[in-house]
Structure 1
Amino acid sequence: MRVKCPYCGDRDVHEFVYRGDAAPVRPAADAGEAAFADYVYLRDNPAGPIAEHWYHAQGCRNWLVVERDTRSHAIAAVRLAREAAR
């Protein structure tokens, strides 16, 4: 699999570290223990398109949001995580 890093260009997937789904949002500090347990431990496992966090450990050391289809591993888009958060 190849990931097109915005800084480094087309790179092998082995240069990256996979973090997981980019969708979960940290609960507010007063949300309670159950909300934090859900945030930490519960994850969807969709078959299809998903936005994921990847870290370019062997390159520019930026966090990326990679939009990937989990069935085919086809990558639709890659952007810097700090730009995706806006």
Structure 2
Amino acid sequence: MGEFLIIQVSKDIKYADKQPIIPWKIPYESTSSRNDMLINLAIATVFSAWIAIQRSVEYKPLQFMSFVFMYRIFEKLKSFEAPSSPTLT
């Protein structure tokens, strides 16, 4: 009765709770480069100047600025996609 059963478990199962949920996600340590931050600052400055110069522009500068930022995000995320294989017909 004093003997214990020792079971060997693979490392994948043993450390499963430490595995990333989404294996292709961007690591948390990644930050924008200085150049990217300056580009984002320039974009925000241009649209802020548009708002300051024309006092009643409603939502258009904010809408265009959000489209530009979303475009930049999608362009950055393209680099993480797997290359598409050519389809033969």
The alignment's TM-score, normalised by the length of structure 2, stands at 0.27
Structure with more relative contact order (C-alpha pairs < 8 Å, separation 6 or more) = 1
Higher strand share: 1
Higher helix share: 2
TM-score by length of 1: 0.28
